[in-house]
Amino acid sequence: MYELLTGLSIIEASSFVASPTAGLYCAQLGAEVIRVDHKAGGLDYDRYMLTAEGRSLSWENLNRAKKSVALDLQSGEGRELLVALAASAGNLITNLPEQSFLSHGAVAEKCPDLVSVRIMGWHDGRQAMDFTVNAASGYPQMTGPEDWDAADPPPVNQVLPAWDFITGAYCAFALLAGIRHRDRTGEGKELRVPLGDVALGTMANSGAMAEMLYRGGNRERLGNAIWGAFGRDFRSRDGKRFMVAALTLKQWSGLVAAFGIAREIAALEAEIGVCFADGDTPRFANRERLFLLFQQAADELDWLELEARLTAQACTYERYRTMHEAATDPVLVADNPLFGPSPANPSGFSYPAPRSFANIPDEARGDPRPAPYLGEHTEQVLSEWLGLSSGQIAALVDRGIARLSDRGA
Amino acid sequence: MYELLTGLSIIEASSFVASPTAGLYCAQLGAEVIRVDHKAGGLDYDRYMLTAEGRSLSWENLNRAKKSVALDLQSGEGRELLVALAASAGNLITNLPEQSFLSHGAVAEKCPDLVSVRIMGWHDGRQAMDFTVNAASGYPQMTGPEDWDAADPPPVNQVLPAWDFITGAYCAFALLAGIRHRDRTGEGKELRVPLGDVALGTMANSGAMAEMLYRGGNRERLGNAIWGAFGRDFRSRDGKRFMVAALTLKQWSGLVAAFGIAREIAALEAEIGVCFADGDTPRFANRERLFLLFQQAADELDWLELEARLTAQACTYERYRTMHEAATDPVLVADNPLFGPSPANPSGFSYPAPRSFANIPDEARGDPRPAPYLGEHTEQVLSEWLGLSSGQIAALVDRGIARLSDRGA
């Protein structure tokens, strides 16, 4: 683990995906991230996939390298302890509602220079999740086979909870921005990040909102074709599906050479009077004709031959894998320094675990760390951060206000 | 604009989506972000959608609030100027290859405490783009209608370039982490973030990689149903499609009440001997029966009635919109403080522009800023950062090494 954020302690009161992701990224770069949960586990404690013993593989991956404190967050005393911890650390990531006991104001009373990042649903306070903001964004209506049920085109949801993950990364960024501001001015900040705004704002930042307003209507559904450039999935003679993309001249020339269709391309250029090397526009405008030529060439070649040619031309391509194939692909996982040896996961199941996405050349990455057991660090954190004695902590445990660990539970 | 990152200057040598996004987020929180491009525009200068005049709506949204410097980056002299700018600012975001003239080492020679973030393709140096890492990730094989072409299930690409946007946000975070480390230790850092690692690492962080290995195979394709919980799209009597999600007891009870199917649910519980309030498992395991009951209820109700009921029960739901509907929906855009008045966009086209995703309660957000014209700040930046005189800059322009602005070009 890199120690870029050493010295930084963050209280995370989280559930589901976006908020734990923000803490995860900070923990993987060396921050002390203390996730505080209700003693029976947060709302995501049982999130699928569950092992036969009932351990959530989702939870143990999104909470890797963190500490865990378990308190009775339905009791006033447990809530006061969480507020006190957030005030002591001075940094808070949460998706609890602003109207909850963990409002910025409640913590800032004890810690005026608190920096908090709060993930919300919609900007106006309505509830939202990745699935619902996605429905509002318009992307599902543009996703999926172009010829599928054209009379009444149904939405196609993306399976990746992309809005959650963008929000998580953005919140980790926003937290560091707030902390940098405090370092320079002494002033705390509350930063609120609505999931719905991340979705609409991303749509706008990509240019797609301006595009819709400029068109005065919707973009056509394109299946797996890249909009505004040359690219699509093709299938080799032996049935392997793969994606190719050409947004630059180099990528385009490489593809034409790899597919061995220079003559056919030249003939098509002569026929319709364009030069495909000129840029995205001729390639995109005539994509149907081009797709035909590329697929005809692919029909004559097995994947191994095609792959060798695509590699030789340094093309931008990739074979589609199922997720199980991806997870067991040596190039992607076993031989990829992103992944390290399996840590002692609470589930007891062993598998390669990812390190931080960022790598620093010539610096040891260290091994991935496991997620904690729920409450594994309750005693340590209450002692170190709130100065509670062993006796005081034992009394909290006896009264059900604090819980030490769900190991073996 | 919030001034959280005031005092921070960043050189961005970027193209496409991920790298410009990292700079955009920093610029929207007050950093001075100077994008340096080849004088004819970077590889993304003509990225679709283009206006009738040829302005890229993608470019002008991903580069909002930045400064622009245009140099001849095919010349040694232009390259030296970019290296000198990066060394002067001390902070660099780029997706140029490490083997290019803009390697960390080349800049660090003049600025030993440089913090650079470099977006790569795959970890092993192979080229990659959002579309191709997506193909490798396994998500396209899990996306799309469950009953579509079951004999030979084709991949369904997500239209949102999610990997690019996650990578962009992560790189903004990684940059601030590196800068924080330098602030504390005086030491610079090179951080490399491969797009492919963001895809595989996200798959792993979500628990999906562990899931595939634990299953020893692939997850089934689920169409628009949420995996491991209750949720799917439904259609009202008048044909409006909407998404509902219930991951918590409160969400579940609200949905049952809103659809008015308490009696049917109780009958189903009695028939199959489960209690749907118990958690995700019974709801997910019996989803087909539940979906039937929910759709039958929706068949009897128009959307306005359904929406009123869903709102009254504070359900987590959203109507599907086309992207044009989303872009013109007052609740999502015009009445949403995320969006501000149209700035003077280089395209000349006026439309609501987004502010930063993060908002700070009770602090003025300021108006969104426009993207620059290409080269608009060449003179100012060369003068301020490199101390060049007007005469020196004029000579660079005369010799085609620098360009002042593409306004009116």
- At A136, which helix (H) or strand (E)? helix A130-137
**Sequence-ordered strand ranges (E) for B247-369:** 316-319, 339-340, 353-354
Place of tokens 């209450």: A382
Burial class (CB in 10 A: 0-12, 13-18, 19+), A54: exposed
What pLDDT is attached to residue B250? 95
Q: 3-class SS at A118?
A: strand
* Mean pLDDT confidence for A266-274: 98
Q: Averaged over B322-349, what is the pLDDT?
A: 97
> Across the interface, do B357 and A321 touch by the CB < 8 Å criterion?
no
CA quadruple B208, B214, B218, B220: dihedral sign: negative
Residue B290 has pLDDT above 90, yes or no: yes
> Per the residue annotation, which of B164, B183, B233, B329 is the catalytic one?
B164
pLDDT of residue B409 exceeding 80? no
**pLDDT digit string (tens) for A39-54?**
999 999 999 999 999 9
**CA A193 to CA A369: how far, in whole Å?**
28
Predicted local distance difference test score (pLDDT) of residue A351: 98
Q: How far is B390 from chain A (nearest CA, A)?
A: 34
Suggest the residue from A3, A47, A209, A321 to mutate for an interface test with chain B (most B CBs closer than 10 A).
A209
The reply to whether residue B155 touches residue A320, judged by beta carbons under 8 angstroms, is yes
Q: For residue B164, indicate whether it is catalytic.
A: yes
Q: Taking Cα atoms as reference points, which of A157, A159, A191, A158 lies closest to residue A175?
A: A191
Q: Looking at chain B, which residue has its C-alpha nearest residue A189? A: B360
CA pair distance A266, B382, nearest whole angstrom: 44
Q: What is the pLDDT of residue A223?
A: 94
Instruction: Quickly list DSSP for B286-312.
Output: THHHHHHHHHHHHTTS-HHHHHHHHHH
Q: Are B231 and A139 a contacting pair at CB < 8 A?
A: no
Which pLDDT band, with edges at 50, 70 and 90, does A316 fall under? very high
What are the tens digits of pLDDT across the range A105-124?
999 999 999 999 999 999 99
SS3 content of chain A, % helix, strand, coil (to 5): 40, 15, 45
Distance CA A16, CA A33 (A): 16
pLDDT at B149 over 80: no
**A336 pLDDT band (50/70/90 cuts)?**
very high
| Interface predicted TM-score of the whole assembly (ipTM), two decimals | 0.98
Q: Model pTM?
A: 0.98
Say how far apart CA A375 and CA A39 lie, in whole Å.
7
**In chain A, % of residues over pLDDT 90:** 96
Q: What confidence score (pLDDT) does residue B145 get?
A: 85
Asked if A56 lies within 8 A of B207 by C-beta distance, the reply is yes
Is A117 in Cβ contact with B323 (below 8 Å)? no
pLDDT in tens, B158-171: 999 999 999 999 99
DSSP 8-state assignment for residue B151: T
- Give A63-122 as a DSSP string: TTT-EEEEE-TTSHHHHHHHHHHHHHH-EEEE-S-TTSTT-HHHHHTT-TT-EEEEEESS
**Residue the block writes with tokens 């040619």:** A309
Question: A69-92 as b/e, with b when 16 or more CB fall inside 10 Å?
Answer: bbbbbeeeebbebbbbbbbbbbbb
Mean pLDDT of the A389-394 span: 98
Cα distances (Å, whole numbers) of residue A405 to A38, A81, A311: 12, 17, 51
- Residue A328: closest C-alpha in chain B: B213
Q: Say whether pLDDT at A231 is over 80.
A: yes
Rounded to an integer, what distance in angstroms lies between the CA atom of residue B133 and that of residue A35? Answer: 31
Which whole number is the average pLDDT over B311-320?
97
Determine the 3-state secondary structure of A143 from DSSP.
coil
Handedness of CA B355, B360, B362, B366 (dihedral sign): negative
**Residue B105 belongs to what H/E stretch?**
helix B104-108
| CB pairs < 8 Å spanning A and B | 520
Q: Which residue of B has its CA nearest to A356?
A: B201
What whole-number distance in Å separates Cα of residue B279 and Cα of residue A402? 24
Residue type, B81: L
**Partners of residue B171 in chain A, C-beta under 8 Å:** 358
Query: Strands A189-194 and A241-246: what pairing?
Result: unpaired
| pLDDT one-digit tens code per residue, B18-67 | 999 999 999 999 999 999 999 999 999 999 999 999 999 999 999 999 99
Which residue in chain B has the smallest CA separation from A60? Answer: B207
For residues A31 and A49, give the distance between their C-alpha atoms in angstroms, rounded to a whole number. 27
Q: B351–A210: do the CB atoms touch at under 8 Å?
A: yes
Q: How confident is the model at residue B147 (pLDDT cuts 50, 70, 90)?
A: confident
Closest partner residue to A245 (CB to CB) among B131, B169, B201 is: B131
Q: How far apart are CA A245 and CA B16, in angstroms?
A: 13
Average pLDDT value over all residues in chain A: 97
Spatial distance between the Cα atoms of B210 and B215, rounded to a whole number of angstroms: 8
Whether the CB-CB separation of A401 and A81 falls below 8 Å is answered with yes
Give A254→chain B minimum CA distance, Å.
Answer: 12
Instruction: For chain B, give the mean pLDDT.
Output: 97
Catalytic residue among A164, A183, A278, A329: A164
Interface probe with A: pick from B46, B64, B318, B365, most Cβ of A within 10 Å: B318
Q: Which residue has the higher pLDDT, A178 or B148?
A: A178
pLDDT at A147: 78
Per-residue pLDDT at A148: 75
pLDDT of residue A177: 98
Q: Which residue of B has its CA nearest to A278?
A: B46
Residues in chain A with CB shorter than 8 Å from the CB of B63 are: none
Contact A57 B210 (CB under 8 A): yes
- Report CB contact under 8 Å: B156, A144: yes
Instruction: For residues B26 and B32, give the distance between their C-alpha atoms in angstroms, rounded to a whole number.
Output: 8
- 8 Å CB contact between A343 and B210: no
List, in sequence order, every beta strand (DSSP E) within B112-201. Answer: 115-120, 189-194
Closest CA to B279 of B319, B252, B309: B252
